[in-house]
Chain A
Amino acid sequence: MANAGYIIAAYGITAIVVVGYTLMLWKRMARARAELELQEGRDRGNA
């Protein structure tokens, strides 16, 4: 396949960006859920 390097680079970078963003979203979601639980725990403590 001619120009295979360009094709691999285009598909590879797209995959890295999209998968990387997905993983970052999962990580941020887990962190936000933990923070929410902590806040709710504090709220209950204050009440």
Chain B
Amino acid sequence: MLRIGMLLVYALLALVGVTWIMLFMRRITAEKVGKIWGITAIVALALGLYWGLLWAPPDVLMGDVYRIMYVHFPSWVGTFAGYLAGFICSLIYLRTRNMSFDSWANAAIEVGLVFNATGLITGSIWGRPTWGVWWTWDPRLTWVAIMAVTFAGYLVLRAFMEDPEGRARSSAAVAIVGFATLPIVYFSVRWWRTLHQPQSSPETIDPQMVLPLRTMMIAFLLVFGYLLTRRYMLARIESEVELAALTLDELEPEVTGG
């Protein structure tokens, strides 16, 4: 089961890689690739949930409550993927001034924030039975909160600015500055004495726990990809609406003055 499962995980990972490359090289549309990721995500989620909730053994110290890890950690994979993609697309936007990269950045950060929310909520639920508290101002948790507020600020800024180019420039700057919180969040468990445990590695946990964790990580990446493509398509339609409204505003005085 373990070997077959791992092969399946690598096949899923290869699918994610190949489709990303095809999307980057414009050999496939965002809509099509989103559909592929969406359908594959359902299969991966079903497998990951079965392996994580029913097949993997309980933890020696935490018992069954550790199974929250199978949604908690993949949520952070989705969060980091979103913010990293947002950072890269913002840099490309500032260099090329191509508005489609602004739409990609907007989509990636919004979807990243959704996973940031699930990561915080599941972490809080996991903290209660293991630490005895729902929340504590420990360095890891505090930096995660700062990161979430920064990227929420990115979306608020976008909502309040009307000029498309000014909005794209300002929000790209916020995304780049906000990205600085990512390495701090990642290394906070090593830099400071925190309640949160340091990162685990496949060598330190049971292989029967590694399989569902990897499957759920890939499943969440696929869900992230699906949502990213949908949110990107929405951003493109919204900018077309915005452009059409601006064109109409310019035309109307001529029409009425006609």
Contact = CB atoms under 8 A, between A and B. Distances in A.
A29 B30 CA distance: 15
A39 B118 contact: no
Contacts, number: 89
Contacts of A29: 230, 233-234, 237
A40 B251 CA distance: 13
A32 B240 CA distance: 9
Main secondary structure of the interface of B (DSSP, over half): helix
A17 B114 contact: yes
Nearest to B240: A36
A39 B226 CA distance: 28
B65 A39 contact: no
Interface residues of B, number: 38
B68 A13 contact: no
B245 A10 contact: no
A6 B125 contact: yes
Given A11-B68, A13-B121, A14-B118, 14 more contacts: A10-B121, A11-B49, A14-B71, A18-B118, A22-B226, A25-B227, A25-B230, A29-B230, A32-B241, A33-B237, A39-B244, A43-B251, A46-B248, A46-B252
